[in-house]
Every structure is written in structure tokens, then in C-alpha cells.
Structure 1
Amino acid sequence: MGTDTGAVRAVEVLAEDAWRERARRHEERVDALTADHLRRRRAGERHPVEDFLFTYYNLKPARLRRWDPGVGTVLAGEGARERLSERFAAAVPEGVGLDAAAFLAARPVVGFVEGLLSAVASRDAHLGCFGLHEWAMVYRTREVRHGQVPLRLGAEGTDRVVESHRIRCSHFDAFRFFTEPARPLNTLRPTRETQVELDQPGCLHANMDLYKWAYKLSPAVPSELVVDCFELSREIRELDMRASPYDLREWGYAPVRIETAEGKAEYMRRQEGFAERGAVLRGRLLDVCRALREAVA
């Protein structure tokens, strides 16, 4: 419930027509991005690529659609007072904004997120993992994660690719899904405790996770930034699965054949582009963390 507070520092005050227009554009953007998923969900259909964004990442489409201006922005006008019922909303002379002190008190994860993002931003991108984490998740097993999708090279061919490459997966949330025979083949031993130490800006999953950190910091993060992170995560997921051992041509995805020189080159080119885009979004999320701290200083 919103309260009158001195913990809101206005960096920007938006007139009601301006913030309502921003909210409208945001809703239209999210509607376009989630329409296919919602249609499939109503029909009981599954999608091996896009469902991941709504299952592993558990933000519901309705919450993604809700617009928040973020820390430091105050909404003016009579309509803004309707938002005082929302958590962390606070009334100030200019209108309604985010109570940064209340948000920080309720969300200790902010400190972890800022530390993780800062550590990753300080490192050079390591490229050339070639998405072998997905191959290691089906190595020497018949219990594959996407049972409705065939393996492009079959089980034996998939195992040979794993055995003929050096695997260097630094991201715990990928490594934890490796099969038991694949775990010793990884040159690193990532754990939850070493995540800040090992995550690096070239990692597809570390860049996908920018979406997770963005929505975990909501409503302090402007909703436009959350959707920017969602879109990056969506594009990365597509490459992740195109470079995987699964044959997704029936779903309209041409494979990135990382077992070939041409496929490796394509993967690294796309990986580098994602790292550059991720660096920008990571910087914007760090700006939010700093703005939260400065608002209560």
C-alpha cells in the first residue's frame, strides 16, 4: 500500500498523458511478443524453444505486460493516485513514485544482483564454447529433456561430438543439467557459490539471465528495460537451441552445425553480438541498482 514518504527522489516527472502513452506502447509491445505463447497455451500446445521463456523464467505474461516507470520517475496527474494501492508506490508532492527505501528493505537480492552484474561486466567475454552445454545434457542418456524432438545426429553421433570437443561451461544453471557421465568432461566446476566468480559476459545463459535479474528488480526497473532483456533472451534461446543436438527443422529452425567449422564460426559471430548487446543492458541494470542506493543515501 502506498504511503506519503520522503524516500522518493524525482529524477523525472512525467505528465499523465506522457506516462499513459508509454504504458500503452509497452502493452502493445508485450502483446505482440506473447500472443503466440498465449494462443498455444490455450490450445494445450507445447513449443520446445519459446516455452522456456515462460517456464524456466517464471514471470507471467500478465506481469510482463504491466508497465512501471522505474526508480527515480514520478507520475503526475490524478490518474497516478490509482497506483497508490500497488506495492512500493508512494505519494510525493509531484505525484506518485517508487519508495526506494521500502523496496531495498524488502528485496535484499538487489545487493547480490549488483555484485554479480558488476563482476561480469569487469571481465572479458570468453567465446568459443559452441553451445556444448546442451549436448552435455543428453550425453550417454536416453532420457532427453525434449523427448518430442529428435536428436539431429542420433544418440551415438551426439556422444561423439561431446567426446571430440573441449567443454568449458562456466554457468551453474547450465552445468547442473549435465548428465553424470558429462560432468567430469567439463573443465570447470561451477556451483551456486562460485557464480559471481565464474559468470562471464560471453556466456549465452548469463546474458539470458539479464531478463531474470530485470524482473526480479521490478518495479524499480523501467518496464521497457525488462522487455529489452526479454527480447535479448528470446533471441539467445533461439541460437541456443539451433546449435543444440536437437533437430528443430520441423519447428522452422535451421541448425547451426557446431560440429563443423562453418557452424562454429556462425555461433561465435552471434555469440559476440549477444555479448555486446548484453553489456549495454547489464550497464542499464547497474544504473538502476546505483539509483536505488542513491535514492536512500
Structure 2
Amino acid sequence: MTGIDVLTEEEWRAREAVHTRRMRAWTEPHRQRRSRGEKHPVLDFLFTYYSFPPARLQRWQPGPAVVLAGPGARRFLDRPGYRETADGVLLDTSAFSDRLARTARYTLSLLEAVHGRQARVDCFGLHEWAMVYRTTPEQVRHAQVPLRLGHSGTDAVVESLNVRCGHFDAFRFFTPEARPLNRFTPTRESQRELDQPGCLHVGMDLYKHAYKLDPFVPSELLGDCFALAADIRELDMRASPYDLSDYGYSPVPIETAEGRAAYARAQAEFARRARPLRERLITLCRSLLTLQGGHSSC
């Protein structure tokens, strides 16, 4: 990794404040809901399925090759991986461990494969429907939320449309009865071959790929990936079989031709938004792998 940026204390404190304020728009309501024992079927996913702690999400990190100048930067020395130099405080490249290198190498391989593909926008969010196909009320994932079409109506939609989910981390939650209806049988081993940029979960997972590189991911990139994941999650659940009107969400009724068209348009827009974030993550992984003599593909 070449080139070192030096940020004055005024500069890095300003960036820190912007990131913290931005992330608190999500983390603070989540904290308040938890204190009240409330569950949110849309937003909790960002903090439960994605396991990065809210406190770490809102904690600013400069990323590699950035020196934080000024006396206030010494507090970063209380965090793992930082060291002091004559110019200030920065991440120590020796803290880029073998584990992080393996993560970066796997992530890079997956991101490069996805990046070279055309987005496919014909799945219509049926993965959420397949997760409740032929279930009883007690088996529904979000049992506190009613199904818009009821159980029989939900089952009929799954049976009338072609289920085309290629993402393993969605497919693994399908009910046993729904799995044979899917065009694909994704596995963890086939993820590199099946993931594609139009998939909502592939877009959301950019956030996961980013936080798994912490603290070597700049918080601005992490925050951008989280914000995209939050927007995608909203569409994901609006297009689901759940009635979320009590939470202020109007449905995207994919059981209709108009709803499927609206879903496909939104899906294509998210694929467009995800592309530059994926490029930034690819560039970061390539740069990080130079720290241990890595290379840009597996």
C-alpha cells in the first residue's frame, strides 16, 4: 500500500462527527427499541442477521494509510491495531493478520466474480414468500406480523410464480416444501458462481464484507454500505408477504404484474447503486492484500 494521508485534528474530528451522527440515525432507535423490548421486522435485521455491534458501527475508523495528527488522536491508541509515529497515530500494518488476509482474499474473489456479471432482476423477492410456504401461524418467521394474503393466498403465489433465488443465505431459510420449487439449489460452495449483482441480498451483503475487514475499512465506506443495506431491506420486506402497514410501510405487491414491474425497477436501481461500492471494496481488498504479499484473485 503506497501513500500516506495526514489529517489534521480538525479534519479527522469533522469526519468522525459526520459518521457518528449518520449512523446514530439507525443505532439510537435500535437501542431504544431494545430497551423497551420491542421488535422491528424490517430494521432489526440490520443488527441481528448482520452481527456487527451498533457501537462499533458508529465508531469512526480512518482506514489504512491515514495518519491522525494532533494530541486528541492518542485516544485511538486504546484501540487494537493503532500505533504512534512522529506525525501522529495510524493503523499498524502488522495488525493486518493472517485471518484478515484470508477474509480479504475470499471477499475479493467473490466481489470480482459478481462484478463481472449482468444484473438479473426476475426473482421478484419470492425468497421471503418461500420462507413461509406451507407453514403454520406458529412457524412464521415474523409471527407478530400478519400475512397480507393469509397462508393459503401466500402459498398460491409461490406456486403460481417461478422461484429463482440463487443466493444461499436466503435459500437456506426456505421451508422444506419450498426448496424443490426453486430453479437453483445454491450452496456455500457455489456462491461464487451463483451470486449476481441484481440480487437484493448480494447488495446488502456488501455491508457484511465491509465490516469483516474492520478496522481496516474506512468508516465512510462502511457507512455507505450500511445505508444501502438499510434501503434494500425496506424493499425486501415491502415486497414480502407480510402486512407491514402498522410500521408505516406500503406493500410492493409482487403477486400482481404491476408490483413485479415496480420491484424489478427498484432492484435494477439498487444494482446500480451497489456497483461503485463494490468497486471501492475491491480496490480496498487489493490494497490490503499487498500488506502480506497477496494478489488480486484466488
TM-score normalised by the chain length of structure 1: 0.94
What does residue 62 of structure 1 align with? 55
Other structure's SS at 2:123 match: coil
What does residue 146 of structure 1 align with? 142
Would you say the 8 A contact 1:171–1:205 is kept in 2? yes
Per the TM alignment, residue 164 of structure 1 is displaced from its structure 2 partner at its CA by: 0.7
Per the TM alignment, residue 296 of structure 1 is displaced from its structure 2 partner at its CA by: 5.0
What does residue 126 of structure 1 align with? 120
2:81 is aligned, of 81, 85, 88, to 88
Q: Are residues 1:178 and 2:139 paired?
A: no
What does residue 202 of structure 1 align with? 198
Would you say the 8 A contact 1:104–1:292 is kept in 2? no
What does residue 129 of structure 2 align with? 135
What does residue 22 of structure 2 align with? 29
2:249 is aligned, of 222, 246, 253, to 253
Q: Are residues 1:117 and 2:101 paired?
A: no
2:210 is aligned, of 202, 207, 214, to 214
CA–CA distance in structure 1, aligned partners of residues 7 and 287 of structure 2: 18
CA–CA distance in structure 2, aligned partners of residues 292 and 196 of structure 1: 21
Q: Which range moves more in the overlay, 79-88 or 226-235?
A: 79-88
What does residue 227 of structure 2 align with? 231
Would you say the 8 A contact 2:210–2:225 is kept in 1? yes
Q: 5+ unaligned residues in a row in structure 2: which ranges?
A: 294-298
Per the TM alignment, residue 228 of structure 1 is displaced from its structure 2 partner at its CA by: 0.9
Would you say the 8 A contact 1:248–1:255 is kept in 2? yes
CA–CA distance in structure 1, aligned partners of residues 264 and 233 of structure 2: 15
Give CA deviations for 1:57-97 in whole Å, capped at 9, x if unaligned.
11111111110001121212222233223212133343222
CA–CA distance in structure 1, aligned partners of residues 90 and 164 of structure 2: 45
CA–CA distance in structure 2, aligned partners of residues 31 and 157 of structure 1: 39
- CA root-mean-square deviation: 1.4
Other structure's SS at 1:13 match: strand
CA–CA distance in structure 1, aligned partners of residues 269 and 194 of structure 2: 21
CA–CA distance in structure 2, aligned partners of residues 99 and 119 of structure 1: 30
Would you say the 8 A contact 2:123–2:164 is kept in 1? yes
Instruction: Give the alignment of 1:266-281 within 5 angstroms.
Output: 266-281=262-277
Q: Which range moves more in the overlay, 166-175 or 287-296?
A: 287-296
CA–CA distance in structure 2, aligned partners of residues 99 and 116 of structure 1: 27
Per the TM alignment, residue 113 of structure 1 is displaced from its structure 2 partner at its CA by: 0.8
Identical amino acids, percent of aligned pairs: 58
What does residue 105 of structure 1 align with? 98
Give CA deviations for 1:99-122 in whole Å, capped at 9, x if unaligned.
234314241211111111111111
CA–CA distance in structure 1, aligned partners of residues 283 and 8 of structure 2: 23
Give CA deviations for 1:18-56 in whole Å, capped at 9, x if unaligned.
111111111111122222211111111111111111110
What does residue 282 of structure 2 align with? 286
Give CA deviations for 1:192-234 in whole Å, capped at 9, x if unaligned.
1111111110000010011111111111111111111111111
Structure 1 residue ranges, 4+ long, deviating more than 4 angstroms after superposition: none
CA–CA distance in structure 1, aligned partners of residues 93 and 119 of structure 2: 33
Per the TM alignment, residue 169 of structure 1 is displaced from its structure 2 partner at its CA by: 0.6
Q: How many residues align?
A: 290
AA aligned to 1:275 is: A
CA–CA distance in structure 1, aligned partners of residues 226 and 78 of structure 2: 27
AA aligned to 1:26 is: H
Would you say the 8 A contact 2:104–2:289 is kept in 1? no
AA aligned to 1:234 is: A
Per the TM alignment, residue 237 of structure 1 is displaced from its structure 2 partner at its CA by: 0.6
Other structure's SS at 1:74 match: strand
Q: Could you say if the C-alpha distance between residues 88 and 10 of structure 1 is closer, same or farther in structure 2, counting changes exceeding 3 Å?
A: farther
CA–CA distance in structure 1, aligned partners of residues 79 and 95 of structure 2: 12
